[in-house]
Structure 1
Amino acid sequence: MKILAVTARAVDCGFQKQALQTSRVASPMSRFPQFAERRSSWMWPTKKVFLRIETEDGLTGWSCTNGGEVVELILNAHLARLLDGQDAGDIDLLWDQMVAALLPNDRSGFAMMAVAAVDIALWDLRAKRAAVPLVDVLGGARTDTLRTYATTPQPDALAGGAWAGLKAAAPYGPEAGAEGLAENVALMHRFAKAAGPETPIMIDAFMAWDADYALRFAEAMADLPLAWLEDPLPPNDIDGLIRLRDGMDPSVPLALGNFAFSRSDCAELMRAGVAGILQPDVAWAGGITEALRILDMAAETDTPVILHNTCEQPWSLSLAAARQDDALVEFVDRGAQSPLYGLIAPHPDIQAGQTPVPRDAAGYRPAEVALSAFPSPTLQGA
């Protein structure tokens, strides 16, 4: 099945209006006062990028990733012409060709988001051609539902929801001094109270801290059941992560990998012995093909993998169900009316902390908000 057309469009789906963007959340930019109060003041291009691949046999594969106009440009101006006329079923070869073509000038998250967009759409085509859900193409579901933890700015609202954990986004970093540290610890006490004694709590520092600050936070958290500390330092600060790992309670793992954009990035964290949990994002780290390799690599060392932002990505739910035993997945609480769920598949019906495995053999299609970006007659019957 030859590829006839590859088209990407960046669509504003309201990401910058989410509470996690408009409230104070620590980030690598927090040390600059003009960018400390809101992530939306500095965030990279945040439009969602929808990709459509049309093949000569009349099928259309869809995907969605991040990176806005930057990723849109990579896809339309570079990768699309490399894919023209290629066999859409040869996913491994096309993955290798895309990465090789980008290697001379880009190994960033934006590049791998573009590769992921193509890869996910190719897997969508594979499932559509077989007329089965993606989870079956990946080997079949090992479970009907997946244990789910919630990342939320409102722990009290989610209390009693049978979640597998509640995760906070740290509001402060070293720039806020002792007062900010105390506020972070107070927030975790609030999370612990809302969660109750049987539900784990976690915190995501979004690469905003340094080793000294993270060690002070960990010491202050000694009386609370912290399940993991997520992305406290940038992933390239291996020396700092080693120092942190050596100085922390070994029962509290470091959850790393949101900003690891390939299996080689993940392998570096594992070689250093700092990743107690790997958390790659399938739509950022090269797609399903690379995620399968990361899962296999992690299995060799019994390193747990929790796919990042799972519930917004039906392909990630399918991967977790097909390739992991007793998988844990992430739900990002964006409010009752968030437009970011249901963009490519229906909003998962999460009940009692369990997310159902996607079973739609019709594959992925963009929601109404994105359809306007593709004024093509091929959309009907995609």
Structure 2
Amino acid sequence: MSMPTIRHVRAFTVRGGGADYHDQAEGHWIDDHVSTPLARYPEYRQSRRSFGLDVLGTLVVEIEASDGTVGFAVTTGGEIGAFIVEKHLVRFLEGQWVTDIEKMWDLMYFGTQFYGRKGIVLNTISCVDLALWDLLGKVRKEPVFQLLGGPVRDELQFYATGARPDLAQKMGFIGGKMPLQHGPAEGEEGLRKNLDRLADMRNRVGDDFWLMYDCWMSLDLRYATRFAHLAQESGLKWIEEALSPDDYWGYAELRRKMPPAMWVTTGEHEATRWGFRMLLEMGCCDMIQPDVGWCGGITELIKISALADAHDALVVPHGSSVYSYHFVVTRHNSPFAEFLMMAPKADEIVPMFTPLLLDEPLPVNGRMKVPDTPGFGVRLNPACTLHRPYEH
């Protein structure tokens, strides 16, 4: 088969849900009194939107091949990401063979290194990379998981992230991860509320259901250590992203001070093999949680996962819908997956990137067989308005 080349690349933005799942209406659990680094300031404590968590919006990248096949992907990136794609990255893509993904990743990363390395630039590179894998799968008429070597299990099993682990248990998930609501600035009263909420949820779900807390970079080492030891009475399975993602030394110390049965997990806001190398070589955590839409895409996640395997660490990607499902099903060191409960009250299962993607597979009784549709197997919803702020 003659392999097509890349003919054209387009970048769009979308508002309201989608890949920027923090872009929600008022009253959504994902925004309501969640502990953050800015919660030390009372005026930014009640809502994460108050300090701009929803400012970016969704980035959509479409890549059209010379045979007319179109691959696409979505991530958090908005107009800034669209500018980077249209005004910089396209020079590394158009004209290349659709198979040359490793080369294109190398060109994009090292071509933006003078202003990139992490953050929004890596989000953008991730989106392009995922679109390339989607395109290659469609050209070859194979699902991405087959391109990655094929599945190592018949189905995925999930834990749920949301405000109601007790409801997630009834839906068949293996565990529930709650957002921590009160940070160090709320003192002993806040600490007690966090512990009481955990104890109440443990009473609701019984002893065998996993319970975890997502701390979203909001704690310091002293608070996190004390909280972990107090929380072990309620059987907390892990404490997630307790510290700033730049504090590798703090994470290493936290892991040394943890109760024996409790894990330290992090990596949602880390990027590239070099960032995860720091976490792994310094012994910062038991499980890494790269977001495939932020860490460098599938191409980089392959390298990150190999590093973790060599360090006997688990890799359970941060919730990113089909983009992580196709990877997790091919890796032995990814024994389960995260499902983000995007219903405002976390009381029903809805597609994670709703309303932007069509055909997103959903877990049933906490399990899912990844569909064998070519590429990532999803479509853009034509009812969502795409805006192309820049062209080349």
Per-residue deviation, residues 75-111 of structure 1 (Å, max 9, x unmatched): 1221123322222210000000000111011222211
Partners of 2:142 and 2:385 in 1: how far apart?
24
Q: 2:195 aligns to what?
A: 185
What amino acid does structure 2 have at the position aligned with 1:324? H
Q: 1:17 aligns with which of 21, 24, 27?
A: 24
Helix, strand or coil at the partner of 1:125: helix
Partners of 1:157 and 1:368 in 2: how far apart?
32
Helix, strand or coil at the partner of 2:233: coil
Partners of 2:354 and 2:308 in 1: how far apart?
29
Paired residues of 2:29 and 2:163 also in contact (CA < 8 A): yes
Distance change >3 Å, CA 232–CA 278, structure 1 → 2: same
Q: 2:11 aligns to what?
A: 8
- Do residues 346 (structure 1) and 348 (structure 2) align? no
Per-residue deviation, residues 269-294 of structure 1 (Å, max 9, x unmatched): 11111111000000001100001111
Q: 2:44 aligns with which of 30, 35, 40?
A: 35
Helix, strand or coil at the partner of 1:324: coil
Distance change >3 Å, CA 89–CA 326, structure 1 → 2: closer
Q: 2:94 aligns to what?
A: 84
Per-residue deviation, residues 315-345 of structure 1 (Å, max 9, x unmatched): 2101111123662100111114667236334
Partners of 2:197 and 2:229 in 1: how far apart?
15
Partners of 1:145 and 1:371 in 2: how far apart?
34
| Alignment coverage as a number of residue pairs | 373
What amino acid does structure 2 have at the position aligned with 1:367? N
Partners of 1:137 and 1:173 in 2: how far apart?
43
Paired residues of 1:164 and 1:353 also in contact (CA < 8 A): yes
Paired residues of 1:141 and 1:322 also in contact (CA < 8 A): yes
**Matching of residues 1-382 of structure 1 within 5 Å:** 1-14=4-17, 15=21, 16-17=23-24, 19-42=28-51, 43=53, 45-310=55-320, 312=321, 314-324=322-332, 327-335=335-343, 336=348, 340-341=353-354, 343-361=356-374, 363-370=377-384, 372-373=386-387
Identity %: 31
Distance change >3 Å, CA 328–CA 10, structure 1 → 2: same
Consecutive unaligned residues of structure 1, counting only runs of 5 or more, are 376-382
Partners of 2:56 and 2:369 in 1: how far apart?
28
Shift of 1:159: 3.4
Shift of 1:35: 1.2
Paired residues of 1:349 and 1:356 also in contact (CA < 8 A): no
Helix, strand or coil at the partner of 1:84: coil
Distance change >3 Å, CA 187–CA 34, structure 1 → 2: same
Paired residues of 1:21 and 1:40 also in contact (CA < 8 A): no
Consecutive unaligned residues of structure 2, counting only runs of 5 or more, are none
